[in-house]
Amino acid sequence: METEKCVYRFGAAADGVDVTEGDASMNFVLGGKGANLAEMARLGLPVPPGFTITCKTCMGYANSGNEWQQGVLDQIDAATRDLEERMGKRLGDPDDPLLVSVRSGAPFSMPGMMDTVLNLGLNDESVQGLIRQTENPRFAWDSYRRFIQMFSNVVLGVDADLFENALSKRRLIAGVRQDSDLSAEDLCQLVSEFKAIFRDNVSVLLHPELADAAGDAAFPADPALQLRLAIQAVFGSWLNERACLYRKQNGISDDLGTAVNVQAMVFGNKGESSATGVAFTRNAADGTKEFYGDFLVNAQGEDVVAGIRNTEPISQLKANPTFKEAGEQLESIFGILESHYRDICDIEFTIEQGKLWMLQTRVGKRTAAAAIKIAIDMVEEGIITREEAVGRVSPKQLDQLLHPQFDPAADIEVLACGLNASPGAAVGEIVFSSDDAVKAVASGRRVVLVRWETNPDDLKGMTVAEGILTSHGGKTSHAAVIARGMGTPCVCGVESFQIDAKAKEVRISGTDLVLHEGDVISFDGARGIVVLGAVPLTTASLTKDLDTLLAWADEIRLDGPDGRGFHVRVNADNPKDAGLALSFGAEAIGLCRTEHMFLGDRKQIIQSFILSEDAAVRSAALAQLLEVQTDDFLSMFRTMNGRDVVVRLLDPPLHEFLDDPRELAVSIARLEASGAEGERLLEARSLLRRIDGMAESNPMLGLRGVRLSLLYPELPLMQVRAIASAAAALKRDEGLDPRPEIMVPLVSVTREHVQVRDVIEGVIGQVEREYGVKLEIPVGTMIELPRACLVADQIAKHADFFCFGTNDLTQTVFGFSRDDAEAKFIPVYLHKGILDVNPFETIDDAVLEMVSMAVSKGRESNPAMSYGVCGEHGGDPLSIKRFFKDANVDYVSCSPYRVPVARLSAAHAMLELR
Amino acid sequence: METEKCVYRFGAAADGVDVTEGDASMNFVLGGKGANLAEMARLGLPVPPGFTITCKTCMGYANSGNEWQQGVLDQIDAATRDLEERMGKRLGDPDDPLLVSVRSGAPFSMPGMMDTVLNLGLNDESVQGLIRQTENPRFAWDSYRRFIQMFSNVVLGVDADLFENALSKRRLIAGVRQDSDLSAEDLCQLVSEFKAIFRDNVSVLLHPELADAAGDAAFPADPALQLRLAIQAVFGSWLNERACLYRKQNGISDDLGTAVNVQAMVFGNKGESSATGVAFTRNAADGTKEFYGDFLVNAQGEDVVAGIRNTEPISQLKANPTFKEAGEQLESIFGILESHYRDICDIEFTIEQGKLWMLQTRVGKRTAAAAIKIAIDMVEEGIITREEAVGRVSPKQLDQLLHPQFDPAADIEVLACGLNASPGAAVGEIVFSSDDAVKAVASGRRVVLVRWETNPDDLKGMTVAEGILTSHGGKTSHAAVIARGMGTPCVCGVESFQIDAKAKEVRISGTDLVLHEGDVISFDGARGIVVLGAVPLTTASLTKDLDTLLAWADEIRLDGPDGRGFHVRVNADNPKDAGLALSFGAEAIGLCRTEHMFLGDRKQIIQSFILSEDAAVRSAALAQLLEVQTDDFLSMFRTMNGRDVVVRLLDPPLHEFLDDPRELAVSIARLEASGAEGERLLEARSLLRRIDGMAESNPMLGLRGVRLSLLYPELPLMQVRAIASAAAALKRDEGLDPRPEIMVPLVSVTREHVQVRDVIEGVIGQVEREYGVKLEIPVGTMIELPRACLVADQIAKHADFFCFGTNDLTQTVFGFSRDDAEAKFIPVYLHKGILDVNPFETIDDAVLEMVSMAVSKGRESNPAMSYGVCGEHGGDPLSIKRFFKDANVDYVSCSPYRVPVARLSAAHAMLELR
């Protein structure tokens, strides 16, 4: 059986003719570094010759229990001999030795996770050859001691500190401060000491091939053995712990393996005409079209990264007469690479005694702002198309851009962790109540509202706070939902915060720390981390560039195959959010939750409706609600003139509007204990009885949604009258084009929808007659329960649209109460690998299957209907793509601050269909 | 267009030759009565001639706005003339008038719901003919006044009291006590008075055809008009309110219509040689093979039913020389009908001057006990097969038989209503606490435990009480679940009971009634009704007959097509229930809920495991639990030796084992108010903090089931060790054949099952090594969440069996929390026709679709698996049939007392497949 090709050459032969075998497309064969080295060599760029051992070879070695597959070593030997020929030098040659680097290079970048060995090929004889060739004994001995140090540590696991200690000792003896001040003799002496360290710390039992005549471990002099061991070490580093963890976190398969690049060494540390550097072809921080990077004279690459010496900006390279030529060549190479890769490139280079060598290139990582600017500039420069530009900015980056962030340069220490409930970073003084928040902000301070959990009474404080932190509750807790809606950063369920609101202090579990009102904390709501003190923030902005990019994204998403578009609506409950969403590019309101309209001053009214047994009181309350709701809708429809506004009928259980029965029971107990009798106590007891009568075991699955409308038809009557009257008035009196739609929530039985629809249409008809105006108000169903998906064909016959409430659908399909699950077991499930993602953040396959089933049943039964998603998944990039591609929905609706992300994600979904 | 045939003749022509056109199969054409009259006539039995107007005619009349369809009246006229010819008499003939009855007769029996008119054909002239023919003026005038009275009321809606008042007045005037003592003259006078009542109470505007010359309403003398109006009235009675309600309650379509039977009158009240009676061919109460029924000499049928005079038992008929011949003929007809209908028949007959006439027959209704005895006797008599016998007993009847019932003869007044939580009737003195129940029962009294809601601390009282009544909670409340498990009657959610347990009294809302401890109440848990005082009960028994019938049912259900059987298991959590279930014929334990094993004395142990932060305390608690659990399983497996015992790992949220945080908060408030400080208060506060930390918003969807096992692996480790050790010990030390199976509850993600299974198998392996015994313990999944159904193919690869928890599946598919839904909106939904049945009682179509999907995905992926249902639907006859026929499951598992019902239902399911 012939052995598969497992070694690919790159770079020139001795005659200068390129003999490269791979190219940039061979990422999965040669790894990113190897493929791009091959590509650069093909482009005629100055790449030190070498060869790449394939990723598959690594997996073959690992899978056969760290044994070499047959024939592989022969191919490596042949490639090594070939490289010696091409270079006209031999490994270990006592006159003119070839030195090589051995570097890892996986298909996806895994920075710093795997191993590298430099200066391989040196031994006691070849170091003399290096001295002879360079006439620089100090350089040669320094290279040799670096090689022993690196090889011993990387290949054989000898503790790096042992070498550093020897180095320190040698500096002391020599009376110098820096390694660069050590003489060639010092370094020669160090080589001996390093070899002794090697002998004392390597086991010949594990490495019999290293045994010397005395049976001790000797540093291997044979370059072929050095090379084999180094390659094995790089292979092995694919499976080291940090690499495995990194892959898990980044969703990279363990089966890919890493390639190994063996390449002739070039030296940036051969004196003042040598240098080394890293650079981007554009500014990776802000996207400006300028060279961006640093270099160091007389240094090796690791010195640039280590940050020991101060680097010079790359723009200064040409200014140095020594590097004028190399600098000009480098700039021209920047141009070649950018136009070849059609993207910003990240490169490593070395100048050896005036000659430029390219050591690496890849498409450069960039910040969100840079990504947008570069994409737009490249379109204007004619390098890429608008589609490509849109495709190059990830929705995740965009999201980052839209919220303030911790300054990445800031050095932070995490004080506590919680749930990442609403993105963005916040810094402020701790306050423990809504009132304190309002007072502090009025006096010009910035605050973070810290609460056990929030409730509607905290709204004022939440509105003015920089951020909200709670010790309890999950991602759909009141705090989380409201915060996301307002675009305010929020961390929930910070369990280590033991809050005593009365004493205005927080104890931090597991520490002696007690924080008081006024102490400053910072937190990052996207990561769920809390930091003591003020962390510097980077601020968000909606730039002209972003507008341009999103406009291009809109062109793409609205122009799908068969004229099908993918639309973006907003979840907004008030004219302010609606206006904000319009400025963010929302096309319509996909979900207007009316329950938020019953909070604040209006809570009293809905309470008297719920609690009174007196019909007159109840109907007076309804009349009041009708008046304020009509006003609500008048301003919503004005703001959204000519655009759809999907209004959902009242959804939450009514007891959510009532006082907490436990608090009431406690205050009754206190009253009783105080010996109080009389009116007040009787009233409290009677109130408690009524509230208890409304209590539910599992409110999420209780008397809410359409069930409320059927049990208390007064409520939908009032709400629909408010909607229809507002629309009729605007149409008749202001000549506007109001477009309300009414959505019935939580339907599971077809007849629920049918009976409520009858009520709705009765009211609309009445209002039409009263105002003498014809109204066209579609009535649709919120599909958010498994049964609704199963009978979607039946419901569709009576509905004008479906909108999927994927939050509740996820809850019921999984049997997870989101609040409880995110606070108690989802984190553990993610940790144990039971779940790959939190299904409340990214739509689950099975939940998507239900959505998809409902859409196809619906389309078959009622082809005229439209389909949307208004759960929080409607703002998640991956979910958005899947809704469009796998479930065939027409639009997503998300919170105002996620509208730009949704527009971009929708465009990406459309691009993937092309 | 020729008119459809809408009139069918029955009975003999003038020459005695039968001219019947219909037969018993034409139920839906001729109604039950008409079809059976035709069948009897065909059999040569003495049936007074007549004709039947079809059901379709009724619907045609109703659907065209109470207008006659073309040609129908002509057919009726022709049939009337034909009947006159056959009888040799004419309607209204002044010499020898024909009199007819006009009776309703729908396809399904609707006793007393629709109208009848007798003696039609009488008028001032024909009454003279009747006198002439009968030589009995009193009979003739009595018939005439009865006719006017009945016709006026039934056909024209004249208030019946008006006639009764006139009758009373006439008795006063005549100075007699009974109608039968009125003379012919009195009755003649009454006819005049009745006609006057008619004139004064019928509107000629509505009935212009009744106007006399003076423009007043006159009682119609024309027999043809009498007949037409009477038929119209019977048609109209199909749509009267009570008939509609009856149909709705009994699931009879409104579209069937009723037939109308017009039949020559025969008279049981023509003197001492005339009689009338109703009879069953066997004893309909207990099934004994004996004639069963009553007759009255010189009476019309209505007199027998009205119960005005004392009837004589049918067995006495032959003993009366006057009726010897007719009695013998009747007995021979009993034989003819039984062997023809192959079932017990219910008949009505009249003897007119010695001659027997059959007026009706139908398959007789019977009690549950009679149904079983008759079925078995008929097999032994060779009349029906075993399959038929099994098919003739309905599971619903059987259920009735297995619980004590209110004596149907008892006259009850309903005091309050609640949810029918656990069937059976109970009578006892009210007690308000578990302790009081125990004390009262110890002193020999019978009690009903009345509580706001029960909790595990009430178990002792619940065990000894005759029944349990709660004012709160639904059908899965603690009270309901425990009561059903114990077979104790229970009514939940009796909202009108305002319980003050401290004062030991109950106020009944809407009344002035206050009940105290010791007051006797009765309730029927199958109907959810509560009665003040002691209602006499009928007691339940498992008879030899029932055993025989169920054995035949077993033969059928275990011998399905392709050798497939349908098995019945039991849900039992202790050896007592297991033993009971074995005696009821359960084949195995389909669900052993381990949480019930942690109550009582053990609650302390599990509490210290849950609440302690001290590892030593926790592991000591686990060790104690291990010991008691091992004992539990030792006795379970001994009882069930050789039979499968499916043990479910701990399922409920742990906070269910803890104290109620609200009560604790209240007692803390009291302590604080009392000024108490110190240890006790601190401890209570710390306990409350820990309990609060475990609180959940929606416990049904929270940290329970497999989620508990993954977060607290100590729990499944302990439980599996107990199961495996018990099995190993019994196998090794007692030579028994223990067959435990382990079921993982609430799986929604495949890896949940996989990871827990790993833990389970690890422990089993350890125990095998410790005991030196090989154990084969299958591990299965409880499928009770929509997601588990959707990914059933994946889960199936790692499971040995699936058991569907259809309670939770119904909750999640509908998004209904059972407790909340049954207490709040399901009753309204049933009332409004949004739901046809309570989906927690009878499996819903969509839920069944999920089950069916999971079974087929599972069978495809892992053909070796078995499939069962262990939700409460496993005890519901209709659901059982659907599980087998529509979802392809292998067994159901239900509570012990429902095992017989399930065995019978399973046999019915199998019969329907044949």
Contact residues, chain B, for A672 at CB < 8 Å? 670
Question: Which tokens is A370 given?
Answer: 């840079």
**Token pair for A719:** 């709400």
B123-145: average pLDDT: 94
A308 in a structural domain: yes
Distance CA B796, CA B858 (A): 5
Structure confidence by residue, pLDDT tens digits, A358-412: 999 999 888 778 899 999 999 999 999 999 999 999 898 787 778 788 887 788 8
Closest Cα in chain B, distance from residue A671 (Å): 9
CA B147 to chain centre: 38
B495, closest residue in chain A (CA to CA): A693
Asked whether the beta carbons of A38 and A52 are under 8 A apart, the reply is yes
Residue A356 and residue A498 in one domain: no
CA dist A285 and A409 (Å) reads 13
> CA-CA distances (angstroms) from residue B440 to B139, B435, B534?
64, 9, 17
What pLDDT was estimated at residue A308? 58
Least confidently predicted of A290-299, A883-892, B536-545: B536-545
ipTM of the complex: 0.80
Q: What is the mean pLDDT of residues B157-161?
A: 91
Task: Give residue A560's identity as a one-letter amino acid code.
Answer: G
Question: Rounded to an integer, what is the distance from CA B911 to the centroid of its chain?
Answer: 21
Q: What is the pLDDT of residue B542?
A: 65
pLDDT tens digits, A646-685: 999 999 999 989 988 999 999 999 988 888 778 888 889 8
Question: Could you tell me if residue A121 is left (phi over 0), alpha (psi between -120 and 50 degrees) or otherwise beta?
Answer: left
In a domain, A384, yes or no: no
Interchain contact, A696 vs B819, CB within 8 Å:
yes
- Pull the structure tokens for residue B346: 């219910």
Neighbours of A629 (CB within 10 A): 24
Q: What are phi and psi of A348, to 5 degrees?
A: -120, 140
Per the domain annotation, does B898 fall within a domain? Answer: yes
Q: Kind and range of the H or E element at B619? A: helix B615-639
Reading the block at residue A135, the tokens are 């006439």
Same domain, A813 and A666: no
The pLDDT score that the predictor gives to residue A893 is 97
Which residues are CB-neighbours of B352 under 8 A, at least 6 positions away?
Answer: B266, B267, B268, B270, B274
Q: Are residues A284 and A240 located together in one domain of the fold?
A: no
Q: How far is CA A474 from CA A448, A466, A471, A822, B785, in A?
A: 18, 20, 10, 6, 22
Q: What is the DSSP letter of A477?
A: S
Angle at A459 between CA A456 and CA A461, to 5 degrees: 135
CB-CB: which of B672, B790, B820 is closest to A696? Answer: B820
Question: Which of the four pLDDT bands, split at 50, 70 and 90, describes residue A2?
Answer: low
Q: Express as a percent the part of chain A with pLDDT over 70.
A: 97
What H or E segment, with its residue span, contains residue A570? strand A567-571
Q: Contact at 8 Å (CB) between B416 and B492?
A: no
Q: Which residues of A touch B816 (CB under 8 A)?
A: 701, 748
Full domain range(s) for residue A319: 275-363
Q: Is residue B581 part of a domain?
A: no
User: Torsion angle of alpha carbons B400, B406, B411, B414, nearest 10°?
Assistant: -100
Top residue of B688, B706, B785, B787 to mutate, by most chain A CBs within 10 Å, is B787
Q: How many beta-carbon pairs below 8 A join chains A and B? A: 193
Q: Cα(B36)–Cα(B26) distance, rounded to whole angstroms?
A: 9
Q: Detail the residues of A annotated as belonging to a binding site.
A: 593, 648, 784, 805-808
Q: Are B459 and B600 contacting, i.e. CB atoms less than 8 angstroms apart?
A: yes
The DSSP 8-state label assigned to residue A254 in this structure reads T
Q: pLDDT at residue A415 above 50?
A: yes
pLDDT of residue A406: 87
Q: Taking CB atoms and an 8 Å cutoff, what residues of chain A touch B844?
A: 787
**Domain containing A311 — which CATH number?**
3.30.470.20
Position B1 scores a pLDDT of 46
Contact present, B430 and B517 (Cβ < 8 Å) = yes
Enumerate the H helices of A477-574 as residue ranges. 478-486, 544-557
CA distance, residue A835 to nearest chain B CA (Å): 8
A184: in domain: yes
Query: Closest Cα of chain A to B622: distance in Å?
Result: 22
Chain A residues near residue B830 by CB distance under 8 angstroms: none
Residue with tokens 């906070």: B655
> In the block, which residue shows the tokens 């035709």?
B38
Considering only CB atoms, A702 lies closest to which of B668, B711, B820, namely B820
Task: Summarize the annotated binding site of A for Mg(2+) as residue ranges.
Answer: 784, 808
Strands A275-280 and A100-105: unpaired
d(CA B788, CA A815): 10
The pLDDT tens digits of the residues spanning B553-601 come to 999 999 988 788 999 999 999 998 999 899 999 999 999 999 888 887 8
Q: How many domains does the structure of chain A reveal?
A: 6
Helix axes B544-557, B368-380, angle to 10 degrees: 70
A665 vs chain B: nearest CA distance in angstroms? 6
What stretch of H or E contains B86?
A: helix B72-87
Average pLDDT, chain A: 91
Alpha carbon of B681: minimum distance to chain A alpha carbons (Å) = 15
CATH of the domain at B733: 3.20.20.60
Residue B410 CA to residue B307 CA, distance in Å, equals 17
* Least reliable range by pLDDT among A41-55, A137-151, A530-544: A530-544
Containing H/E element for B365? none
pTM, two decimal places: 0.81
The answer to the question of residue A398 being in a domain is no
Q: Give the number of other CB atoms < 10 A from CB of residue B850.
A: 27
**Residue A791: its chain B contacts at CB < 8 A?**
846
Query: Is residue A305 over pLDDT 70?
Result: no
Contact B474, B822 (CB under 8 A): yes
Parallel, antiparallel or unpaired: strands A7-10 and A50-53:
antiparallel
Q: What is the mean pLDDT of residues B164-177?
A: 92
Do A334 and A448 sit in the same domain of this protein?
no
Indicate the SS3 state at residue B254.
coil
Domain presence at residue B359: yes
Looking at residue A638, its pLDDT comes to: 97
How many Å apart are CA A583 and CA A427, to the nearest integer?
27
Q: How far is CA A200 from the centre of its chain?
A: 46
Catalytic member of A472, A870, A873, A894: A870
High-pLDDT (> 90) share of chain A, %: 71
**Is residue A295 located within the same domain as residue A420?**
no
Taking the C-alpha atoms of residue A857 and residue A549, their distance in angstroms, rounded to an integer, is 36
Q: How far apart are CA B824 and CA B443, in angstroms?
A: 39
Q: List CB contacts (< 8 A) between A700 and chain B.
A: 697-698, 701, 817
Q: Is the pLDDT of residue B305 over 70?
A: no
**Banded model confidence at residue B194, pLDDT cuts 50, 70, 90:** very high
Q: Which two tokens stand for residue B176?
A: 């007699």
Instruction: Show which of B777, B798, B814 is a domain's final residue.
Output: B777
Chain A residues near residue B832 by CB distance under 8 angstroms: 710, 755
Instruction: Show Cβ contacts of residue B390 under 8 Å, excluding neighbours closer than 6 positions.
Output: B375, B549, B552, B553, B556, B904, B907, B908, B911
CA distance B78 to A694: 66
Domain endpoint, select from A693, A711, A740: A693
A304 phi/psi in degrees, rounded to 5: -65, -45
Per-residue pLDDT reduced to its tens digit, B370-422: 899 999 999 999 999 999 999 999 898 787 777 788 887 788 888 998 888 78
How far apart are the C-alpha atoms of B624 and B616, rounded to whole Å? 12
Look at residue A302 and tell me whether its pLDDT is greater than 60. Answer: yes
Which chain A residues are within 8 Å of B812, Cβ to Cβ? Answer: 786, 812-813, 815
With CB atoms and an 8 Å threshold, state whether B698 touches A819.
yes
- pLDDT above 90 coverage of chain B, percent: 71
Would the CB atoms of A820 and B697 count as touching at under 8 Å? Answer: yes
Residue A337 and residue A317 share a domain:
yes
CA A456 to chain centre: 31
Q: Are residues A566 and A634 in the same domain?
A: no
**Do A243 and A114 contact (CB within 8 A), yes or no?**
yes
**Residues B625, B769 share a domain:** yes
Q: Is the pLDDT of residue B476 over 70?
A: no
B173 & B39 share domain? yes
Please give the radius of gyration of chain B, using alpha carbons only, rounded to the nearest integer: 34
DSSP label of B121:
T
Q: A701–B817: do the CB atoms touch at under 8 Å?
A: yes
CB nearest A846 (choices: B700, B787, B819):
B787
- Nearest residue of A to residue B816 by CA position? A701
Pair B67, B210 in one domain: yes
- β-bridge pairing A345-352 and A275-280: antiparallel
Nearest chain B Cα distance for residue A884, angstroms = 21
User: Which of A669, A711, A834 is facing B749, going by the closest CB pair?
Assistant: A834
Taking CA–CA distances from B822, the nearest residue in chain A reads A702
User: Which residue of A816, A830, A831 to mutate against B (max B Cβ within 10 Å)?
Assistant: A816
Per the structure block, which two tokens stand in for A239? 């499976």
- Do residues A342 and A378 make contact, with C-beta atoms less than 8 angstroms apart? yes
Q: Which of A448, A456, A506 shows the shortest CA–CA distance to A659?
A: A456
A352 shares a domain with A249: no
Q: Between chains, do A835 and B696 touch, taking CB under 8 Å as contact?
A: no
The strand pairing partners of A104, in sequence order, are A260
**For residue A775, what pLDDT is reported?**
97
Interface test with B, best of A701, A744, A750, A824 (most B CBs within 10 A): A701
C-alpha A403/C-alpha A523 separation (Å) is 13
Residue written as tokens 């006719």?
Answer: B147
Identified catalytic residue from A403, A478, A567, A798? A478
Cβ contact, residue pair A815, B666, below 8 Å: no
Cα separation, A244 vs A515, in Å, equals: 39
**How would you classify residue B129: left for phi > 0, otherwise alpha for psi between -120 and 50, otherwise beta?**
alpha
Residue B840 CB burial class (10 angstroms; 0-12, 13-18, ≥19): buried
Measured CA to CA, the distance from residue B215 to residue A492 in angstroms comes to 86
Which of A463, A433, A469 minimizes the C-alpha distance to A448?
A469
Identify from A477, A757, A813 which residue to disrupt to test chain B contact, counting B C-beta atoms within 10 A and taking the largest count. Answer: A813
Among residues B505, B504, B449, the alpha carbon closest in space to that of B482 is found at B449
- The answer to whether the CB of B80 falls within 8 A of the CB of B103 is no
Q: What is the pLDDT of residues A99-109, one digit of tens each?
A: 999 999 999 98
Among A514-528, B299-313, B439-453, B765-779, the least confident range: B299-313
Q: Which of B777, B793, B823 is the last residue of a domain?
A: B777
pLDDT band for position A473 (cuts 50, 70, 90): confident
CATH number reported for the structural domain that contains residue B487 in this entry: 3.50.30.10
The token pair that represents A32 in the structure block = 């990113």
Give CA–CA dist B524/B423, Å, rounded.
7
Q: Domain check: are A609 and A666 in the same one? A: no
Instruction: Average the pLDDT over B485-493 and give the result.
Output: 81
Residue A500 lies in a domain: yes
CATH number of the structural domain spanning residue A31: 3.30.1490.20
Q: Which of A93-102, B145-154, B473-482 comes out lowest in average pLDDT?
A: B473-482
- How many CA atoms within 13 Å lie on the side-chain side of B339? 8
Does A870 qualify as catalytic in the annotation?
yes
Q: Which of A94, A6, A9 is nearest to A56 (CA)?
A: A6
The pLDDT value recorded for residue A439 is 87
